[in-house]
Amino acid sequence: MKYCPNCSAELDDQASVSFCPNCQASFGPASAWRPTDAPVGEFRRFKRVEPKAKEVHAPAGPMNPFGEVLLRLFIGGIGCVILGVLAVLSAVPYGGRSDFVSLFLLSPLLLVIWALFPLQRLFKKNGKTGHDNAS
């Protein structure tokens, strides 16, 4: 009978015991420990450590519409500033006339329409709008 040198647990009589089932001590070829012929002290029972179950995270759903509006306003605001700089830089050589200037004047309206678009999800019911229920 072989014994574990760490906890004195009885091991199988197989010549190729690679670990102790009680304390998980390793007896592989790279290990310095080897099973002994006699117990080394009293038997010590170790708690079996169960592997923790992996937490499964639910996939992220759609973003909060109000948060998405704020994000779109921020990103769109940066775009308006860039468009404004381009409008000024392109209008200076031509005495104030440029296509970028008219586009820049329309950009706040387009920004508001684009930014408020996610709010349409609040008015949907079960994936259908109120007009789709007539059929």
Q: How far apart are CA 126 and CA 135, in angstroms?
A: 15
Q: Which residues of 38-72 are buried (b: 16+ CB within 10 A; e: fewer)?
A: eeeeeeeeeeeeeeeeeeeeeeeeeeeeeebbeeb
CA distances 8 to 21, 37, 46, Å, are: 11, 10, 11
pLDDT at 56: 73
With a threshold of 0.95, does the pTM exceed it?
A: no
pLDDT at 128: 52
Which 3 state secondary structure label does DSSP give 126?
A: coil
pLDDT digits 0-9 by tens, 64-119: 888 888 888 899 889 888 888 877 787 777 666 666 677 778 888 888 888 888 88
pLDDT at 135: 46
